[in-house]
Amino acid sequence: MKRGWIIKSGLLVMAFTFALLQFNCEAVDEKVVAETIEPEIVIPDSTAYFDSVYAPITYKLDTFFEKKFKATTFNGTVLFAERGRIILKKSYGLADWKKKDSLTIENTFNLASASKPFTSVAILQLVEQGKINLTDSVEKYIPTFPYIGIDIHQLLSHRSGLSKYDHFCDQPDSIWPDKHKSIHNADVIDIMATIIPQVAYSPNTRHYYSNTNYMLLAQIIENVSGVSYKDYLQTNIFDRCEMNNSVLYNRDNKDELINPVKGYTGNYTECIDIYLNGAVGDKGIYSNVEDMLKFDEALYDGTLLTEESLALAFTEHIDQKNNGQNYGYGFRLTYDDVKGKIPFHTGWWKGFRTYFIRIPKKQQTIIVLSNIKRGPFFNVNDLVNLLP
Residue 2 has pLDDT above 90, yes or no: no
User: pLDDT category, 3, cuts 50, 70, 90?
Assistant: very low
Question: Is residue 231 over pLDDT 50?
Answer: yes
**Paired sense of beta strands 94-96 and 101-102, if any:** antiparallel
- Residue 10: how many other CB atoms lie within 10 Å: 10
Over range 99-105, report the average pLDDT: 95
pLDDT tier at 178, thresholds 50, 70, 90: very high
Predicted pLDDT of residue 318 = 78
Whether residue 208 contacts residue 317, with contact meaning beta carbons closer than 8 Å, is answered with no
Q: Tens of pLDDT along 242-268? A: 999 999 999 999 999 999 999 999 999
Q: What is the pLDDT of residue 21?
A: 44
Q: Strand, helix or coil at 267?
A: coil
| Residues designated catalytic | 113
Q: What is the pLDDT of residue 50?
A: 76
Cα–Cα distance for residue pair 364/82, rounded to 1 Å = 4
DSSP 286-339: EE-HHHHHHHHHHHHHTSSS-HHHHHHHTS---SS-BTTBEE-SS-EEEEETTT
pLDDT tens, residue by residue, 26-77:
444 444 444 455 555 555 567 777 778 889 999 999 999 999 999 999 999 9
**Domain extents in the chain:** 48-384
Tell me: the pLDDT tens digits for 114-171? 999 999 999 999 999 999 999 999 999 999 999 999 999 999 999 999 999 999 999 8
Which CATH architecture best describes the domain 48-384? 3-Layer(aba) Sandwich (3.40)
